[in-house]
Amino acid sequence: IKRSFSSSAVRNVVIKNVTIIGGGQMGAGIAQVAASTGHSVTLVDMTDDILKKAMKGIQSSLRRVVKKTFSGDPESGDDFIQKVMQNVSTSTEPSAAIATSDLILEAIVENMKIKQDLFGFLDKMAPEHTIFASNTSSLPISDIASATSRPDRCAGLHFFNPVPLMKLVEVVATTSTSPETSESLLNFTKALGKTPVCCKFLNPCLVCPGHPWVHRHASKEDIDTGMKLGAGYPMGPFELSDYVGLDTIKFIMDGWSKKEPDNPIFAPSQLLNKLVAEGKLGKKTLEGFYKYN
Ligand code: CAA
Ligand code: NAD
């Protein structure tokens, strides 16, 4: 029996308990911000080692934040960090957390089939009121939601990297997303201290800089310098791609190129494909377009 959509039980969910699936750059950042604003967070990933690394990353990011916000009062800063860390638990087996979640947000690999499998699996376990959100950069939310029996309670919640600093969150509603779900997510993002904007689909805002036509005009160093000093970008396109992760950029570009095969902007980049095949994924592997120590 299919569940009925938008029953009274799912109206105006106040999001307090959050499960975040995927403890990489984005999942850890979102967990940090949600925990810092008093939400109870469970961060889920595939191994304890990944989760340990995520918790270490959250702690060091919090130290950077606290240095500014508690500059004259380091003791209160330490208390704050301790409280925030207490708001985050980790798990490789999420069923208990899911049973009490108001929101499940996925920030796993940018792959439709894997995201659909995850949402299909979670749908069977989560309470009726639970909202499902995806942090996808490029995949259609309606396709991910189609793996569930609750498309009215599915939406995109697109954060930007680094999450603790970037103010914007795109709240992506499909034609099936209920107004109550959108409202709950808008209230949640505001409670995180972010500025939400509502969208119907995600924009292809990142264009891979690895195309031959880009290199024909200047070196990557000169392009990055030009965009920073001439256009006011905080990072040039090569630096930013390394920061986002070249595997993620490749998933995004391949998705757009499939959708718009004749658009030269999305034509496959041999350089990007080569770097990804060599495991040079950017800052996270200490080498991408640039090398890092
Ligand atoms: N957590 C907490 N604080 C952080 C931080 C983090 N993860 N990263 C940087 N900071 C703080 C630093 O501590 C530093 O603080 P002070 O000013 O007190 O020293 C401050 O931010 C500046 O950092 P840095 O000096 O290390 O470096 P920077 O000046 O180059 O700033 C940056 C770093 C904020 C990341 C900046 O380069 C920037 O805004 N880059 C562009 C980011 C961007 O465009 N993101 C969007 C990517 S696209 C996306 O996310 C969507 C998608 O789907 C792929
Ligand atoms: P990442 O590679 O840093 O982290 C992904 C994490 O998900 C890894 O720790 C991996 O072990 C885990 N994972 C994968 N499959 C899983 C599963 N089935 N169950 C549990 N955990 C699983 O990736 P990221 O950069 O954090 O990106 C995550 C998502 O956020 C992607 O959809 C990406 O497009 C999107 N996004 C990325 C950025 C960015 O700048 N990197 C910005 C906005 C949105």
Last residue of a domain, one of 137, 171, 199: 199
Angle between helix axes 25-36 and 48-69 (nearest 10 degrees) is: 50
The verdict on whether residue 220 carries a ligand-binding annotation is: no
- Asked if the model's pLDDT at residue 73 lies above 50, the reply is yes
How far CA 14 is from CA of 114, 131, 145, 221, 284, in Å, comes to 28, 10, 21, 47, 35
In a domain, 206, yes or no: no
| CB of 176 shorter than 6 A to ligand 1 | no
Q: Tell me the pLDDT band of 6, cut-offs 50, 70 and 90.
A: very low
One domain, residues 132 and 254 = no
One domain, residues 239 and 115 = no
| CB of 29 shorter than 6 A to ligand 2 | no
In a domain, 205, yes or no: no
226 vs 225: which has the higher pLDDT: 225
CA 165 to ligand 1 centroid distance, Å? 6
* Helix then strand then coil, % of the chain, to nearest 5: 50, 15, 35
One domain, residues 112 and 253 = no
ipTM for the predicted complex: 0.97
CA 36 to ligand 1 centroid distance, Å? 18
One domain, residues 166 and 230 = no
One domain, residues 225 and 187 = no
Last residue of a domain, one of 139, 168, 199: 199
Q: State residue 202's pLDDT score.
A: 59
Q: How high is the mean pLDDT of the chain?
A: 90
Residue 241: partners with Cβ closer than 8 Å, 6 or more residues away: 206, 208, 209, 210, 249, 282, 288, 289
In a domain, 124, yes or no: yes
Angle between helix axes 237-244 and 246-259 (nearest 10 degrees) is: 100
Cα-to-chain-centroid distance, residue 238:
20
One domain, residues 161 and 36 = yes
Q: Whose CA is nearest to atom 2 of ligand 2?
A: 24
- Asked if the model's pLDDT at residue 198 lies above 50, the reply is yes
- Asked if the model's pLDDT at residue 2 lies above 50, the reply is no
Residue 116: partners with Cβ closer than 8 Å, 6 or more residues away: 143, 144, 146, 147
| CB of 6 shorter than 6 A to ligand 1 | no
Strand spans (E) along 3-69: 17-21, 40-44
Stated length of the chain: 293
Mean pLDDT confidence for 74-97: 96
Q: What distance in Å separates the CA atoms of residue 19 and residue 89, rounded to the nearest whole number?
A: 10
Last residue of a domain, one of 199, 224, 240: 199
Summarised one tens digit per residue, pLDDT across range 48-69 is 999 999 999 999 999 999 999 9
| CB of 61 shorter than 6 A to ligand 1 | yes
In a domain, 207, yes or no: no
The verdict on whether residue 111 carries a ligand-binding annotation is: no
One domain, residues 219 and 186 = no
- Residue whose entry in the numeric block shows the structure tokens 């060599």: 278
Q: Are 99 and 129 in contact (CB under 8 A)?
A: no
Cα-to-chain-centroid distance, residue 173:
16
In a domain, 172, yes or no: yes
| CB of 64 shorter than 6 A to ligand 1 | yes
The verdict on whether residue 68 carries a ligand-binding annotation is: yes
In a domain, 292, yes or no: no
Q: Which domain holds residue 254?
A: 212-285
Q: What distance in Å separates the CA atoms of residue 108 and residue 110, rounded to the nearest whole number?
A: 6
Mean pLDDT confidence for 245-255: 91
In a domain, 290, yes or no: no
Both structure tokens of 202? 């995600």
Summarised one tens digit per residue, pLDDT across range 122-146 is 999 999 999 999 999 989 999 999 9
CATH value at residue 243 = 1.10.1040.10
What DSSP state is assigned to residue 172?
Answer: E
| CB of 154 shorter than 6 A to ligand 2 | no
Mean pLDDT confidence for 271-275: 93
- Asked if the model's pLDDT at residue 293 lies above 80, the reply is yes
One domain, residues 18 and 157 = yes
Q: State residue 116's pLDDT score.
A: 98
Domain count, the chain: 2
How far CA 8 is from CA of 122, 128, 213, in Å, comes to 21, 10, 55
One domain, residues 170 and 238 = no
Mutation probe of ligand 1 site: the residue of 64, 109, 281 with most atoms within 8 A of C-beta: 64
CA 194 to ligand 1 centroid distance, Å? 15
| CB of 63 shorter than 6 A to ligand 1 | no
In a domain, 22, yes or no: yes
CA-closest candidate to residue 207, choices 252, 170, 155:
252
One domain, residues 14 and 115 = yes
| CB of 110 shorter than 6 A to ligand 2 | yes
Per-position b or e across 61-89, b if 16+ CB within 10 A of its CB: bbeebbeeebeeeeeebeebbeebeebbb
CA 158 to ligand 2 centroid distance, Å? 12
CA 129 to ligand 2 centroid distance, Å? 25
pTM of the model: 0.90
One domain, residues 66 and 105 = yes
Q: State residue 98's pLDDT score.
A: 96
Q: State residue 3's pLDDT score.
A: 43
CATH value at residue 114 = 3.40.50.720
Lowest-pLDDT choice from 27-36, 195-204, 225-234: 195-204
107 vs 202: which has the higher pLDDT: 107
One domain, residues 116 and 84 = yes
Summarised one tens digit per residue, pLDDT across range 152-190 is 999 999 999 999 999 989 999 999 999 999 999 999 999
